[in-house]
Amino acid sequence: MTVQGKGNQKFSRRTFHSLRHTTASQLSDGGIPEDVRMEITGHSSRDMHQLYTHPAYESLKRAILSIPTRESLGLARKAPPVSDGQSHVPLRDGLK
């Protein structure tokens, strides 16, 4: 992210503090345990640490793709029952 300076000059908004966000996020994406990440970044509470951790899109995608499918669990889908077009639920008062 950059900010406009005088004239055509642009300056980076990167600060030493932004490294804390980057470090926490990259360690998280690398699968480092939370207690280790907290020690490295100097956070004393999990709530504060979670504010600094921003998972990358690829990490979120990997997490979703790791969810087992019915097929991978050996749970075949059952075919829906074949309908003969007739209602099997009796209607009130004998009406059709």
pLDDT digits (tens, 9 = 90+) for 38-75: 999 999 999 988 888 888 888 888 889 999 888 888 88
Q: What does the domain layout of the chain look like in residue ranges?
A: 16-63
Structure tokens at 92: 């009130």
Q: At residue 86, does pLDDT exceed 90? A: no
Q: What is the model's pLDDT at position 58?
A: 85
Sorting pLDDT into bands at 50, 70 and 90, what band is 89? low
Does the pTM surpass 0.85? The reply is no
More confidently predicted of 39 and 92: 39
pLDDT digits (tens, 9 = 90+) for 4-16: 656 666 666 677 7
